[in-house]
């Protein structure tokens, strides 16, 4: 039977998270630190816009690239937040979440055998999407000692004459790392010297706790070789609406739109109407959520300090990535025991790439009350492990 299925797909590794999910779902009373989505409800004015669109009978396809008004609002927003100009007519494509943009962006630029450089730990879908696009993924194992920022020499060592693109996933899931202007400058120079593309996944761009997010596309001569991906899921707590977008040179958007047109047709219509309200009236919602995330981030970092758990200070997204190397066990062993003994689910770092081994992804998309309970259990667990080691 299996001989009739795609070997490319069959050979794809299932997500490491899936495996852990199966263990967690057995346990009914577990508390979780494992989600990758906001705990806030979508702000009411955005939901209302979605409801109105249904009441008014806006239940048809939109144009393939997305509602004109939405693309205009995206263009205005990207200009306001990043000082970058994209023409809403041919340089912006509305997609089904950032995920679709990753998939079709890669498919639009890859020829068989091209290499795509993927820094890890990072989001789980880059590598499979690259494989499906017939690219050869080249992994960079980011280092904890660099706070998981991509280093110039790491990039240079990964580049070959087959390199087509670099995926730049910052602010980063799962580490919470960001890349600041000075970091990006060095990367941009190498990108230009070697004439490759960058797929910059900026889905967490609104959630930074130091400087404002900087897009690599805003550096000199980078816009023409960057596919910028962002979306509504994280900034506006709209994960279930499945809406993202890509901004790129029109030659690339044109090819991406073809794939999107045949595979998807258009992003969900009611989500698109809601998203217009998000962009136009959502800044104060973002501010409220960011303030709250930042408080929780400080709370967790302080708690780790108090229990002597090593963790670099992450300035982005809503994750912290503490090191568990002192316990001499794998991330999976740690996470599994933590779950079994304390009933708390946190994702083992290696689910995001080999270089995540020795770390744990802890999400702070939970109320401080929830975090307090989880942290007191973590503390008890860590103390127990330290006693065992003696």
Partner 1 sequence: MREELLSVIEKNSRINLKELAVILNTDEQKILDELHSLEKEGIICGYHTLINWEKTSIEKVSALIEVRVTPQRGQGFDHIAERIYNYPEVRAVYLISGGYDLLVTLEEKSLKEISMFVTDKLSTLDSVLSTATHFILKKYKDHGTILDKKHTDTREIITP
Member of 46, 345, 382, 385 binding partner 1 (CB under 8 A): 345
184-199 in b/e form (b: 16+ CB < 10 A) is bebbbebbeeeebbbb
- Per CB under 8 A, 20 contacts partner 1: yes
Of 39 and 76, CB closest to partner 1: 39
- Per CB under 8 A, 13 contacts partner 1: no
Member of 134, 299, 326, 343 binding partner 1 (CB under 8 A): 299
**Cis amide leading into 121 (omega within 30):** yes
Q: How far is the CB of 388 from partner 1 (least distance, A)?
A: 26
Q: Is 262 helix (H, G, I), strand (E, B) or coil?
A: helix
- Per CB under 8 A, 72 contacts partner 1: no
Burial environment of residue 284 by CB neighbours within 10 A (0 to 12, 13 to 18, 19 or more): exposed
Q: How far is the CB of 91 from partner 1 (least distance, A)?
A: 29
Q: How far is the CB of 36 from partner 1 (least distance, A)?
A: 4
Q: Do 175 and 148 meet the contact criterion of CB atoms below 8 Å apart?
A: yes
- Per CB under 8 A, 237 contacts partner 1: no
Number of residues that bind partner 1 (CB under 8 A): 27
Stretch that binds partner 1, among 21-29, 61-69, 177-185, 193-201 (CB under 8 A): 21-29
Q: Do 91 and 248 meet the contact criterion of CB atoms below 8 Å apart?
A: yes
Spatial distance between the Cα atoms of 171 and 180, rounded to a whole number of angstroms: 10
Spatial distance between the Cα atoms of 173 and 7, rounded to a whole number of angstroms: 29
- Per CB under 8 A, 15 contacts partner 1: yes
Member of 6, 25, 89, 221 binding partner 1 (CB under 8 A): 25
Binding marks (x or -) toward partner 1, 162..201, rule CB under 8 A? -----------x----------------------------
Interface of this chain with partner 1, residues 85 to 144, rule: CB under 8 A: 123-125
Of 17 and 278, CB closest to partner 1: 17
Spatial distance between the Cα atoms of 230 and 328, rounded to a whole number of angstroms: 38
Q: Do 304 and 297 meet the contact criterion of CB atoms below 8 Å apart?
A: no
- Per CB under 8 A, 351 contacts partner 1: yes
Provide DSSP, 94-122. Answer: EESHHHHHHHHHHHHH--TT-EEEEEES-
Q: Is 32 helix (H, G, I), strand (E, B) or coil?
A: strand
Spatial distance between the Cα atoms of 376 and 318, rounded to a whole number of angstroms: 20
- The contacts of residue 291 (CB under 8 Å, 6+ apart) are none
Member of 139, 159, 264, 368 binding partner 1 (CB under 8 A): 368
What residue ranges bind partner 1 (CB under 8 A)?
15, 17, 20-21, 24-25, 30, 32, 34-37, 39, 123-125, 173, 291, 295-296, 298-299, 302, 345, 347, 351, 368
């Amino acid at each position: 039977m299996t001989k009739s299925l795609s070997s490319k797909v069959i050979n794809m590794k299932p997500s490491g998270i899936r495996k852990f999910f199966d263990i967690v779902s057995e346990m009914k009373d577990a508390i979780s630190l494992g989600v990758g989505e906001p705990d806030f409800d979508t702000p009411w004015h955005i939901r209302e816009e979605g409801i109105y669109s249904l009441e008014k009978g806006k239940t048809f396809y939109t144009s393939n690239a997305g509602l004109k008004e939405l693309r205009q609002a995206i263009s205005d927003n990207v200009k306001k937040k990043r000082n970058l100009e994209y023409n809403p007519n041919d340089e912006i494509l509305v997609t089904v979440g950032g995920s679709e943009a990753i998939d079709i962006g890669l498919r639009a630029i890859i020829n068989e055998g091209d290499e795509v450089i993927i820094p890890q730990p990072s989001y789980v879908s880059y590598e499979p999407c690259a494989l499906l696009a017939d690219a050869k993924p080249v992994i960079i194992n980011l280092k904890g000692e660099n706070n998981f920022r991509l280093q110039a020499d790491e990039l240079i060592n990964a580049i070959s004459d087959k390199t087509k693109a670099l995926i730049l996933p910052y602010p980063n899931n799962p580490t919470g790392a960001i890349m600041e202007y000075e970091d990006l400058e060095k990367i941009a120079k190498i990108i230009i010297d070697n004439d490759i593309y960058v797929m910059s996944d900026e889905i967490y761009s609104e959630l930074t706790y130091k400087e404002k997010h900087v897009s690599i596309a805003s550096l000199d001569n980078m816009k023409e070789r960057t596919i910028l991906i962002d979306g509504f899921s994280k900034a506006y707590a709209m994960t279930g609406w499945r809406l993202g977008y890509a901004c790129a040179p029109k030659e690339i958007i044109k090819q991406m739109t073809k794939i999107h047109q045949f595979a998807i047709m258009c992003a969900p219509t009611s989500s698109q109407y809601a998203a217009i309200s998000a962009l136009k009236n959502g800044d104060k919602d973002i501010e409220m959520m960011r303030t709250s995330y930042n408080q929780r981030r400080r709370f967790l970092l302080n708690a780790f300090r108090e229990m002597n758990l090593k963790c670099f200070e992450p300035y982005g997204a809503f994750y912290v990535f503490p090191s568990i190397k002192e316990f001499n066990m794998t991330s999976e062993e740690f996470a599994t025991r933590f779950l079994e003994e304390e009933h708390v689910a946190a994702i083992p770092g290696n689910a995001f790439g080999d270089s995540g081994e020795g770390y744990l992804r802890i999400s702070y998309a939970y109320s401080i009350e929830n975090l307090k309970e989880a942290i007191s259990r973590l503390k008890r667990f860590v103390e127990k492990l330290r006693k065992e080691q003696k």
